[in-house]
């Protein structure tokens, strides 16, 4: 019995009614705080206030010998400045007339359990559920740790790369959020795989590369202890390449590029949030330049970002207050030895901003797309163009342009409503459908059946379609036949080199040949010199557009231009 006496657990022998017969010293120590008057006589009475269920042990007396008939855990308040404790109590039937209570101090165990739960909660709060990558909270903590760490030696560098998917909203709108999520999960996997541990850009053995998903379609990569500050360019390029590869989902290939902004230690003001903000500003700069690229932060970007931010809030008001207007750039016929000045015009939107003057579409179209204002903007331009076309016809008769081209954003094509509003505008303005050409830009059109179906809907209205900016982005000669377009517009970046670069000349020639074999017309954009015009004419391009012939004009100036040009031609 001696060993029971000294055991580091409490042992109490009691009657079925709870009267304590034997108790070892450790049990007295554990039970004493429960006794109000220093008497420890009835075991169950001690626990009446906090674990009344213990009394049920006596009714479970039918149980076989040696079986635990009650197991409880109770928290007992600390007395006289001592910390509260947690007791574990197992009551066992000893024999026909006695019970044994085994009392353990479970405080430590309970604390450990609580810590584990807290750890799990903390982990869950720091992990992104979709990609299982660290989330924004975890990332900010890590970035702050890195910023606060003293440089190990001279040349110690780190960088954050802020990734944002280009046009992710379109993917969600077109294929649904589930597909969007699948792509994001695949992206997370690719980013992690791309930062292979065996391919560290850091010099230290424990150099860290962390990839986190911080929000919707935004990921951040943290590179620590870079061997060479310039290595960040390699990583950015590699990520761009890896993420641009097609994503196979549900039997089809989807594409989604990212734009990356890079910020390094040099920009650090000591605050992780600010560093991320700089990287995000560089990212929007990369996006603004067309996306699918990276940009390294510099201070001048901050001002441009603020300007863009202002534009977002002003645009809605501008649209409502009639600050947008449309200018028209003539498109001329190049063949038959004359410049045919009545071939057509392209409608180009402008914004008369009350403080900033006239703003070009490059500054606000992308913002209109992102904020959902593009439909209203597009309808406005289309309405103006159709009304103007009908007015020219009435006023100028034979001398009026024969076609008006209007740019359409991808974002407008995503929903099925566009064809409905085109039909309504045609009807309301009395516009002959065959004289309206809608210009779309490459990429998604060739990739996606839904977009293709929408283009066919438009064609069914009797309007024609042109593929704009051909030669940039995803456009390729081999997918030209997939698109229901009538006209291909060769991008200015090719045309501007037509007379000086043999390579570009060959590409233009091939484009014209393929387009013609598919029964499509060609238009060269951005012709600025006679030499360029001569080359395009020689290569058989049907029409041209550019400053050589005319800059975009206010609608009221077109008839003057036509008069002057007809005189020149004559």
Binding site for ligand C2E (CB under 6 A): 329, 348-349, 360-362, 365, 378, 381, 407-409, 439, 468-469, 492, 525-528, 545-547, 552
Residue 381: name its binding partner from ligand C2E, Mg ion, none (Cβ under 5 to 8 Å by kind). Answer: ligand C2E
Short-list 103, 105, 113, CA closest to 83: 105
Neighbours of 193 (CB within 10 A): 10
Q: What does the CA dihedral 405, 409, 414, 418 come to, rounded to 10 degrees? A: -40
Shortest distance, position 526 Cβ to Mg ion, whole Å: 8
Nearer to Mg ion, 131 or 329 (CB): 329
Are 147 and 160 in contact by the 8 Å Cβ rule? The answer is: no
Query: Can you list the alpha helix ranges (DSSP code H) found in 163-214?
Result: 168-175, 177-194
Shortest distance, position 345 Cβ to ligand C2E, whole Å: 12
Nearer to Mg ion, 236 or 444 (CB): 444
Nearer to ligand C2E, 283 or 527 (CB): 527
Shortest distance, position 247 Cβ to ligand C2E, whole Å: 26
Nearer to ligand C2E, 208 or 352 (CB): 352
Short-list 549, 511, 480, 508, CA closest to 328: 549
CA 128/CA 136 separation, integer angstroms: 8
Residue whose pair of structure tokens reads 């498109």 in the numeric block? 331
Nearer to ligand C2E, 119 or 321 (CB): 321
Residue 202: name its binding partner from Mg ion, ligand C2E, none (Cβ under 5 to 8 Å by kind). Answer: none
Short-list 232, 233, 239, CA closest to 163: 239
Residue 361: name its binding partner from Mg ion, ligand C2E, none (Cβ under 5 to 8 Å by kind). Answer: ligand C2E
DSSP 8-state symbol, 171 = H
CA 469/CA 453 separation, integer angstroms: 21
Nearer to ligand C2E, 283 or 523 (CB): 523
CA 458/CA 396 separation, integer angstroms: 28
545, burial (CB in 10 Å: exposed 0-12, middle 13-18, buried 19+): buried
CA 346/CA 328 separation, integer angstroms: 5
The encoded tokens of residue 137 equal 């909270």
Shortest distance, position 297 Cβ to ligand C2E, whole Å: 26
Question: Count residues contacting Mg ion (CB under 5 A)?
Answer: 5
Q: Does 267 bind Mg ion (CB under 5 A)?
A: no
CA 240/CA 478 separation, integer angstroms: 24
Q: Give the residue at shortest CB distance from ligand C2E.
A: 546
Are 258 and 239 in contact by the 8 Å Cβ rule? The answer is: yes
- Which residues inside 469-508 make contact with Mg ion, applying CB under 5 A? 469
Shortest distance, position 291 Cβ to Mg ion, whole Å: 16
Nearer to ligand C2E, 88 or 545 (CB): 545
Residue whose pair of structure tokens reads 């700089």 in the numeric block? 278
Nearer to ligand C2E, 319 or 507 (CB): 319
Q: Does 442 bind Mg ion (CB under 5 A)?
A: no
Residue 349: name its binding partner from Mg ion, ligand C2E, none (Cβ under 5 to 8 Å by kind). Answer: ligand C2E
- Helices (runs of H) and strands (runs of E) counted in the chain: 21, 22
Shortest distance, position 298 Cβ to ligand C2E, whole Å: 25
Options 468, 483, 490, 565; binder of Mg ion; rule CB under 5 A: 468
Shortest distance, position 487 Cβ to Mg ion, whole Å: 11
Short-list 35, 39, 51, 41, CA closest to 15: 41
Shortest distance, position 387 Cβ to ligand C2E, whole Å: 14
CA 73/CA 6 separation, integer angstroms: 23
Q: Does 464 bind Mg ion (CB under 5 A)?
A: no
Q: Does 70 bind Mg ion (CB under 5 A)?
A: no
Shortest distance, position 288 Cβ to Mg ion, whole Å: 17
* Helix or strand holding residue 434 (H, E): none
Q: At residue 153, what are phi and psi to the nearest 5 degrees?
A: -155, 180
Bridge partner residues of 352 (DSSP): 358
Q: Choose the stretch contacting Mg ion; rule: CB under 5 A; options: 149-157, 200-208, 277-285, 468-476.
A: 468-476
Shortest distance, position 526 Cβ to ligand C2E, whole Å: 4
Q: Does 439 bind Mg ion (CB under 5 A)?
A: yes
Nearer to ligand C2E, 342 or 407 (CB): 407
DSSP 8-state symbol, 262 = E
Q: Does 407 bind Mg ion (CB under 5 A)?
A: yes
Shortest distance, position 141 Cβ to ligand C2E, whole Å: 42
Nearer to Mg ion, 27 or 329 (CB): 329
Residue 511: name its binding partner from ligand C2E, Mg ion, none (Cβ under 5 to 8 Å by kind). Answer: none
CA 345/CA 558 separation, integer angstroms: 9
**Helix 168-175 / helix 177-194 crossing angle, nearest 10 deg:** 140
Nearer to ligand C2E, 202 or 552 (CB): 552
Residue 57: name its binding partner from ligand C2E, Mg ion, none (Cβ under 5 to 8 Å by kind). Answer: none
Neighbours of 112 (CB within 10 A): 11
Contact positions vs Mg ion (CB under 5 A): 407, 439, 468-469, 525
């Amino acid at each position: 019995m001696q060993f029971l006496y000294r055991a580091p657990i409490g042992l109490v022998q009691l009657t079925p009614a709870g009267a304590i017969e034997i108790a070892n010293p450790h049990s007295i120590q554990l039970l004493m705080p429960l006794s109000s008057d220093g008497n420890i006589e009835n075991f169950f009475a001690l626990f009446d206030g906090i674990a009344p269920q213990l009394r049920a042990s006596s009714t479970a007396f039918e149980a076989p010998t040696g079986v635990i008939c009650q197991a409880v855990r109770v928290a007992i308040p600390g007395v006289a400045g001592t910390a509260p404790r947690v007791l574990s109590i197992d009551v066992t039937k000893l024999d026909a007339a006695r019970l044994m209570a085994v009392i353990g101090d479970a405080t430590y165990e309970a604390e450990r359990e609580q810590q584990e739960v807290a750890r799990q909660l903390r982990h869950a709060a720091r992990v992104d559920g979709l990609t299982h990558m660290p989330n924004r909270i975890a990332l900010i903590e890590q970035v702050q740790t890195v910023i606060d760490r003293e440089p190990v030696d001279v040349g110690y560098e780190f960088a954050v790369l802020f990734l944002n998917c280009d046009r992710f909203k379109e993917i969600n709108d077109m294929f649904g959020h589930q597909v969007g999520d699948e792509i994001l999960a695949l992206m997370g996997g690719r980013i992690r795989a791309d930062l292979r541990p065996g391919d560290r850009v850091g010099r230290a053995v424990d150099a860290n590369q962390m990839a986190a998903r911080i929000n919707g379609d935004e990921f951040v990569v943290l590179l620590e202890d870079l061997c060479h500050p310039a290595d960040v360019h390699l990583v950015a390029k590699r990520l761009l390449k890896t993420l641009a590869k097609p994503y196979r989902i549900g039997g089809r290939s989807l594409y989604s590029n990212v734009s990356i902004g890079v910020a390094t230690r040099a920009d650090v003001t000591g605050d992780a949030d600010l560093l991320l903000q700089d990287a995000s500003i560089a990212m929007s700069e990369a996006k603004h330049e067309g996306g699918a690229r990276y940009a390294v932060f510099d201070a001048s970007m901050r001002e441009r970002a603020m300007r863009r931010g202002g534009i977002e809030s002003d645009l809605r008001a501008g649209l409502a207050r009639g600050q947008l207007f449309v200018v028209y750039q003539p498109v001329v016929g190049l063949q038959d030895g004359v410049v045919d000045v009545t071939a057509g015009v392209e409608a180009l939107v402008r914004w008369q901003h009350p403080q900033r003057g006239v703003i070009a579409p490059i500054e606000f179209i992308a913002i209109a797309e992102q904020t959902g204002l593009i439909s209203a903007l597009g309808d406005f331009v289309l309405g103006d163009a159709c009304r103007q076309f009908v007015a020219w016809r009435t006023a100028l008769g034979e001398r009026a342009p024969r076609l008006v081209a209007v740019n359409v954003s991808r974002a407008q094509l995503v929903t099925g409503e566009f064809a409905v509003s085109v039909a309504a505008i045609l009807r309301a303005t009395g516009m002959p459908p065959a004289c309206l050409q809608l210009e779309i830009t490459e990429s998604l059109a060739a990739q996606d059946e839904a977009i293709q179906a929408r283009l066919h809907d438009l064609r069914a209205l009797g309007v024609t379609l042109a593929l704009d900016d051909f030669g940039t982005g995803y456009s390729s000669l081999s997918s030209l036949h997939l698109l229901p377009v009538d006209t291909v517009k060769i991008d200015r970046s090719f045309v501007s080199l037509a007379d000086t670069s043999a390579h570009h000349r060959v590409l233009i020639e091939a484009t014209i040949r393929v387009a013609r074999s598919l029964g499509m017309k060609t238009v060269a954009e951005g012709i600025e010199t006679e030499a360029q015009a001569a080359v395009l004419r020689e290569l058989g391009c049907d029409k041209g557009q550019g400053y050589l012939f005319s800059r975009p004009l206010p609608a009221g100036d077109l008839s003057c231009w036509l008069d002057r040009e007809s005189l020149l031609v004559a």
